[in-house]
């Protein structure tokens, strides 16, 4: 349920409505937009008399929420959520470009890649220190050592670090190294992990599960949001279908659908969507044209010898060329790519 306050509602009016709702055993989510204030009613308490609540001073309307996801819904929060990241606000006209290797393989590799993507125009550095792999015999990442290398790369370049966390017990350790927690597709419905990153209050990049619906993605986001952590970015990374020519099927429909249904920023992951570097550029441009607020891309200096996902990784020069194409496309769809201030 949401309570829509009138445009002339006073601070006292809003406070009294919130107090009344809490007295019935509910939590509230306050959304103060440009045109109106909305009070979201969350949880399970005593039955609410909508008519009585509607008679309170400053209340314009009391309405049920039509979706099972509440805080993620535009009904609760009509205005776009903007998430600060390296001088831009993800969800604004500024496009976020997150780039780096799939896995941190050694210190030299990640620091060189950090400088390369920074010079090309990246907003943030990606890199996995703990790697969830299909085979237990594949490279599993360097663990905390990899996190230390990522932090060192951040110190040299100024790029914030986006890295995947897999275990709720490791969240406190990741807080010492990461700037954005990535929840991978395999962990989208790891509810203990979602609760843990929600409690951390760190920004979260939440990837859609490989066989998950859009509603399931939004419900997963709801777990994080329920802890008051509003810094959640949704990520479309392709879904599993009958098609095998590409690694996954990029659901471009999801971008405008998510933008309409939710106030949260939407990031596209073309690398995992197609699994072949030669298609990454086309899908990247299509995602921006469809309304994505940014991209997360895999970049590797020597993809043929990468420990993981080399087939879908762009070489640094191809990544730089793609960023230039995005710069030219962005104004046509009301977006822009900030020119980075290079670290000395």
Q: With pLDDT > 90 as the criterion, what percentage of the chain qualifies?
A: 75
Do 121 and 245 fall within a single domain?
Answer: yes
- Specify whether the backbone of 271 is left (phi greater than 0), alpha (psi in -120 to 50) or beta: alpha
Determine the pLDDT at residue 220.
Answer: 98
Q: 180 by DSSP, 3-state: which?
A: strand
Do 299 and 190 fall within a single domain?
Answer: yes
Do 114 and 231 fall within a single domain?
Answer: yes
Do 116 and 230 fall within a single domain?
Answer: yes
Other C-beta atoms within 10 Å of 75: how many? Answer: 22
Question: For residues 13 and 99, what is the distance between their CA atoms, to the nearest angstrom?
Answer: 47
Tokens of 197: 């990153």
In a domain, 87, yes or no: yes
In this predicted model, what pLDDT tens digit does every residue of 173-227 receive, in sequence order? Answer: 999 999 999 999 999 999 999 999 999 999 999 999 999 999 999 999 999 999 9
In a domain, 71, yes or no: no
Determine the pLDDT at residue 264.
Answer: 98
In this predicted model, what pLDDT tens digit does every residue of 218-266 receive, in sequence order? Answer: 999 999 999 999 999 999 999 999 999 999 999 999 999 999 999 999 9
Pairing of strands 180-183, 204-207: parallel
In this predicted model, what pLDDT tens digit does every residue of 58-92 receive, in sequence order? Answer: 999 898 887 889 899 998 888 999 999 999 999 99
Judge whether residue 343 has pLDDT over 50. Answer: no
Judge whether residue 292 has pLDDT over 50. Answer: yes
Kindly tell me the sign of the dihedral angle through the C-alpha atoms of 271, 230, 83, 292.
positive
Q: With pLDDT > 70 as the criterion, what percentage of the chain qualifies?
A: 98
The whole domain housing 233 covers 83-333
Do 54 and 142 fall within a single domain?
Answer: no
In a domain, 33, yes or no: yes
**For the chain, how many structural domains are there in total?**
2
Do 303 and 270 fall within a single domain?
Answer: yes
Do 262 and 194 fall within a single domain?
Answer: yes
The model's pTM is: 0.90
| Residue 125: its H or E element | strand 124-126
Residue 26 has phi, psi (to 5 degrees) of -110, 155
In a domain, 78, yes or no: no
* Alpha-carbon distance values, 302 to 24, 150, 306, 323 (Å): 60, 19, 6, 19
| Residue 235: its H or E element | strand 232-236
Do 229 and 263 fall within a single domain?
Answer: yes
Q: What is the pLDDT of the chain when averaged over all its residues?
A: 93
CB within 8 Å of 197: residues ≥ 6 apart:
165, 171, 181, 183, 204, 224, 229
In this predicted model, what pLDDT tens digit does every residue of 116-154 receive, in sequence order? Answer: 999 999 999 999 999 777 777 677 789 999 999 999 999
Residue 257 buriedness (CB in 10 A; 0-12 / 13-18 / 19+):
middle
Question: For residues 1 and 151, what is the distance between their CA atoms, to the nearest angstrom?
Answer: 43
Judge whether residue 114 has pLDDT over 50. Answer: yes
In a domain, 15, yes or no: yes
Give the pLDDT band (50/70/90) at residue 341. low
| Residue 214: its H or E element | helix 214-225
In a domain, 235, yes or no: yes
Residue 329 buriedness (CB in 10 A; 0-12 / 13-18 / 19+):
middle
Do 307 and 227 fall within a single domain?
Answer: yes
Closest CA to 269 of 314, 224, 303: 314
Do 175 and 28 fall within a single domain?
Answer: no
Q: Which whole number is the average pLDDT over 18-40?
A: 86
Q: What is the CATH number of the domain that holds 29?
A: 3.30.70.1140
Do 219 and 189 fall within a single domain?
Answer: yes
CB within 8 Å of 236: residues ≥ 6 apart:
208, 250, 251, 252, 254, 255, 258, 266, 267, 268, 269, 273, 287, 292
> CB–CB of 296/314 below 8 Å?
no
Looking up tokens 């937009």, which residue turns up?
33
In a domain, 173, yes or no: yes
Do 141 and 233 fall within a single domain?
Answer: yes
Q: What is the CATH number of the domain that holds 193?
A: 3.20.20.70
């Amino acid at each position: 349920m949401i309570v829509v306050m009138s445009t002339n509602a006073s601070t006292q009016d809003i406070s009294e409505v919130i107090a009344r709702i809490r007295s019935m055993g509910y939590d509230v989510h306050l959304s103060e937009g440009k045109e109106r204030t909305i009070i979201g009613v969350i949880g399970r308490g005593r039955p609410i008399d909508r008519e009585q609540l509607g008679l309170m001073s400053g209340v314009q309307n009391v309405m049920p929420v039509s979706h099972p996801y509440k805080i993620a819904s535009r009904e609760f929060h009509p205005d776009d959520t903007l998430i600060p990241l390296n001088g831009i606000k993800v969800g604004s006209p500024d496009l976020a470009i997150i780039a780096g290797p799939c896995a941190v393989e050694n210190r030299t590799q990640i620091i060189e890649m950090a400088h390369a993507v920074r010079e090309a125009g990246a907003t943030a550095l990606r890199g996995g220190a703990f790697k969830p792999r299909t085979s237990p015999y594949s490279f599993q990442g360097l663990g905390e050592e990899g996190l230390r290398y990522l932090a060192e790369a951040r110190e040299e370049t100024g790029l914030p670090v986006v890295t995947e966390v897999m275990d709720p017990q490791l969240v406190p350790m990741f807080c010492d190294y990461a700037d954005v927690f990535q929840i991978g597709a395999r962990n989208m419905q790891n509810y203990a992990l979602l609760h843990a990153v929600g409690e951390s209050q760190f920004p979260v990049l939440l990837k859609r599960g490989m066989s998950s619906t859009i509603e399931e993605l939004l419900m997963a986001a709801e777990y994080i949001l329920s802890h008051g952590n509003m810094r959640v970015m949704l990520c479309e990374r392709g879904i599993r279908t009958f098609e095998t020519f590409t690694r996954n099927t990029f659901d471009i429909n999801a971008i405008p659908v998510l933008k309409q249904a939710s106030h949260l920023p939407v990031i596209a992951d073309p690398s995992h969507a197609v699994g072949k570097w030669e298609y990454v550029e086309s899908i990247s441009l299509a995602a921006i044209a469809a309304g994505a607020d940014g991209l997360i891309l895999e970049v590797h200096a020597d993809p043929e010898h990468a420990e993981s996902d080399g087939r879908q990784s762009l070489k640094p020069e191809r990544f730089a060329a793609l960023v230039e194409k995005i710069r030219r496309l962005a104004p046509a769809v009301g977006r822009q790519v900030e020119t980075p201030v290079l670290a000395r």
